[in-house]
Amino acid sequence: MKTRSRQRRRSRRRGWLAGILIGGVTLVALLAVLVPIASSRDPLALCVSQPATFPDSGVDGWEGEQLENAAVIVRTAKARGFGREGQIIGVMAAMGESSLRNIDYGDWETSGITNPDGTRTSSIGLFQQQDWWGSAEDRMDPATSAGLFYARLARLRGWQDLEPTIAIHRVQINSDPEHYARFEAEAISVVDALSGPCP
């Protein structure tokens, strides 16, 4: 009786040990697969259509509403057939015009700047577009204003061969052709961060 009882106990122990061993091997194998996948993902590769995935810390100092507006520009550019280069140009333009904020005032209100004919500027929205771009409602809608920008960029022959700041200047008609150059590196970071895979 005692021998059988001991044998049963030993058998149970072996069963437990085998279970623990199999579980440990399975865990190690699972980690071997998951860890490289996790480490290979770019921590800044966000889903452009899901603002909830955007980091609170932002990207290169651009955060919250600014990243959401950049995402609208990127989505609008993609919908109109513009690749990465065109997306960067759109984000650069809005960085230089409004700091990626959809504001309802412009250069006249902040700096007293007038048009060449002396009239007040009427710039509003992400791209600081004046009356001749469209209605106030269109200019204050991020997707529509981005669409207006890209419609004009598409009509600019050879824009791909120009320096980005010059291409933007020819669309926006800013007084300083080099105004947008300072935003190029940050626009690249933001666009690349927003180019992650979406579920």
Q: pLDDT per residue over 51-89, tens digit each? A: 988 999 999 999 999 999 999 999 999 999 999 999 999
Rounded to an integer, what distance in angstroms lies between the CA atom of residue 131 and that of residue 151? Answer: 16
Reported as a pLDDT band with limits 50, 70 and 90, residue 36 is very low
Q: 84-98 and 142-155 are packed helices; what angle lies between their axes, rounded to 10 degrees?
A: 120
Beta bridge partners of 114: 120
Residue 135's alpha-carbon distances to 1, 24, 100, 145, in angstroms, are 96, 65, 20, 10
Q: At residue 126, does pLDDT exceed 70?
A: yes
Q: Is the pLDDT of residue 28 over 90?
A: no
Which pLDDT belongs to residue 113? 62
Q: Which residues have C-beta within 8 Å of that of residue 38, sequence separation ≥ 6?
A: none
Model pLDDT, residue 107: 63
Whole-number pLDDT of residue 132: 86
Return the pLDDT at 116. Answer: 52
* DSSP run (H or E) holding 30: helix 2-40
Closest alpha carbon to 126 in 84, 74, 178: 74
Residue 59 in tokens: 């990207």
pLDDT tier at 9 (50, 70, 90 boundaries)? Answer: low
Rounded Cα–Cα distance for residues 38 and 22 (Å): 24
